Homo-oligomer: A and B are copies of this chain.
Amino acid sequence: MLLTVQWKDDSLILIDQTKLPTKLSYVYCKSYQDVAAAIKQMIVRGAPAIGVAAAFGLVLAARRSNSRNIGSLLKDLNKAYNLIRSTRPTAINLQWGLDRLMRKIQNIQSVSKVKQIMLDEAIQMAEEDIFINRSMGSIGEILFSDGDTIMTHCNAGSLATVAYGTALGVIRSAKESGKKIHVIATETRPVMQGSRLTAFELQYDNIDVSLIPDTAVGYVMTKGGIKHVIVGADRILHTGHVFNKIGTYQIAVLAKNHNIPFYVAAPLSSFDLKNDIDDIVIEERSKEEVTKIGKKNIAPTNIKVINPSFDITPPDLITSIITEKGIISPPYKTNIKIMMNTK
């Protein structure tokens, strides 16, 4: 099993996802600045993975701090918190991971205790992530039948989590329970998480996968045979609006048009009950993601580019949301609240 996020030798070890699929290599983060840079550059990406990586970033800030009293340590932690928090605005798990650690050390007065508690909690979060994904998988896999062809977008797999994956975790779980599953993975321009990551990790695990350009989603759906669409989420609002990788919304529209069920798989840590749509910043990334592949120019260099990293899928396009505690069906406003309260 691919381990995307690992704590070892007093360092956070990340699979370098910018090098995939040609090279499986690792980046060692020895400071919180290393972690912030890794998140910003998408060496690690995927909402659950960056949530846990962010937590380890705070752990590194604590462990590298020379502060002898708690006030000074908290100052160092706040600095790290703000830097890590600023790297990517849309995925809620980033903030969730940081806040969970900060809450855990409230009212602890010993510097060494704080450092230990933070490390224990981050390790706990990493272990929980795998457990949660396995739960989500076994709950969600009942939706799939033997022989199904399932479309997915971006990478909501091992590489988007500590391990196992959310949407791809459900597919893994279906396979583990003996069902033959075929996956159609979209390329997911511009960063190509589909071709670089999903294709890679499904092949790695011997799950049948075919790659399509993002332009072929509609055509492939007209051909019949796609039984389900399943994606992950970077943030789910109390209304059921799902923020996820750019392109998710249009796939949901197309799925609805072709009467194909559209599922979202996400842990409860991806839910945001406080904010409304307009409160959330959609990250706009650099134009070079669109105009270059590696060092090669694929568009005129001085061209204007619109490059939003996420879009919003409204609840009426979503058949159901798979979580580690159960499957949420519409009406989402009511049922998300109920599910969160049973947490």
Contact at A304–B216, with CB atoms within 8 Å? Answer: no
Contact at A300–B21, with CB atoms within 8 Å? Answer: yes
Expressed in whole angstroms, the Cα–Cα distance for A296 and B296 within the complex equals 9
At the interface, yes or no: A330 with Cβ under 8 Å from chain B?
no
- Give a binary string over A297-310; 1 marks a CB under 8 Å from any B CB, 0 the rest: 11110111111100
At the interface, yes or no: A275 with Cβ under 8 Å from chain B?
no
At the interface, yes or no: A290 with Cβ under 8 Å from chain B?
yes
Expressed in whole angstroms, the Cα–Cα distance for A190 and B298 within the complex equals 11
Contact of A299 with B199 at beta-carbon distance under 8 Å, contacts A184-B306, A214-B214, A216-B246 already known: yes
Contact of A298 with B192 at beta-carbon distance under 8 Å, contacts A216-B308, A311-B219 already known: yes
Contact at A211–B299, with CB atoms within 8 Å? Answer: yes
- Residues in chain B near residue A177, CB distance under 8 A: none
- Residues in chain B near residue A187, CB distance under 8 A: 189-190, 290, 299
- Residues in chain B near residue A250, CB distance under 8 A: 215, 217-219, 250, 254
Interface residues of chain A: helix, strand, loop or mixed (majority): mixed
Q: Which of A156-203 contact B (CB under 8 A)?
A: 184, 186-190, 192, 195-196, 199-200, 203
Contact at B290–A210, with CB atoms within 8 Å? Answer: no
Interchain CB contact (< 8 A) of A306 among B220, B298, B305: B220
At the interface, yes or no: A123 with Cβ under 8 Å from chain B?
no
- Residues in chain B near residue A303, CB distance under 8 A: 195, 199, 203, 209-211
Expressed in whole angstroms, the Cα–Cα distance for A216 and B215 within the complex equals 11
Expressed in whole angstroms, the Cα–Cα distance for A77 and B305 within the complex equals 47
- Residues in chain B near residue A28, CB distance under 8 A: none
- Residues in chain B near residue A199, CB distance under 8 A: 299-300, 303
**Interface, chain A (partner B; CB < 8 A):** 21-22, 184, 186-190, 192, 195-196, 199-200, 203, 209-220, 222, 245-247, 249-250, 253-254, 257, 290-291, 293-294, 296-300, 302-308, 311-312
